[in-house]
């Protein structure tokens, strides 16, 4: 029973966080993180993931016994699910957008690099073998 509730909670956080990451990436023009090139599709994806997750969170006590998942457990599960959502989003967007961006020598530094490259491309450019000029 507890494992089932833990998995449901983790899945709800994962889905909501995935939508929020897409929304934040669109707002900040981090094109290397986006799943969709079209702004409308990104906002639609965010709505389809975040709104049902919020409903699920706010109706949690109607379906489940109160206090089954303790606060410290929720915090841990939240952090793990959030980290998983960010990691999966970055890896999936790198796969989806691999050919989208031209090969640039310097995509920028820090998170700004994700405006013109995927995570894998930015890491490869930053840590890759030096060119023989």
Return phi, psi of residue 96, to 5°.
Answer: -70, -35
Q: Is the pTM of the predicted complex or chain greater than 0.85? A: no
Residue 100, domain extent: 2-123
Query: Is residue 132 in a domain?
Result: no
103-115 pLDDT, tens digit per residue, is 666 667 888 888 8
CB 88 within 8 A of CB 15: no
Q: Which residues contact 125 (CB under 8 A, 6 or more apart)?
A: 104, 105, 106, 107, 113, 117
- The number of beta carbons lying within 10 Å of the beta carbon of residue 104 is 13
Query: Is residue 78 in a domain?
Result: yes
Query: Is residue 22 in a domain?
Result: yes
pLDDT value for 44: 96
Length of the chain, in residues: 133
Q: Count the domains in the chain.
A: 1
Query: Is residue 19 in a domain?
Result: yes
121-131 pLDDT, tens digit per residue, is 888 887 875 55
């Amino acid at each position: 029973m507890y494992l089932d509730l833990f998995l449901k909670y983790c899945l709800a956080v994962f889905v909501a966080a995935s939508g929020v990451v897409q929304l934040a990436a669109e707002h900040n023009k981090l094109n290397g993180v986006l799943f969709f090139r079209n702004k409308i599709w990104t906002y639609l994806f965010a709505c389809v993931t975040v709104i049902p997750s919020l409903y699920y969170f706010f109706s949690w006590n109607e379906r489940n016994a109160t206090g089954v998942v303790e606060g410290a457990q929720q915090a841990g599960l939240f952090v793990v699910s959030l980290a998983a959502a960010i990691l999966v989003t970055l890896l999936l967007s790198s796969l989806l957008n691999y050919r989208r961006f031209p090969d640039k020598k310097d995509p920028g530094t820090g998170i700004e690099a994700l405006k013109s490259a995927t995570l894998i491309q930015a890491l490869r450019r930053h840590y890759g073998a030096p060119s023989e000029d």
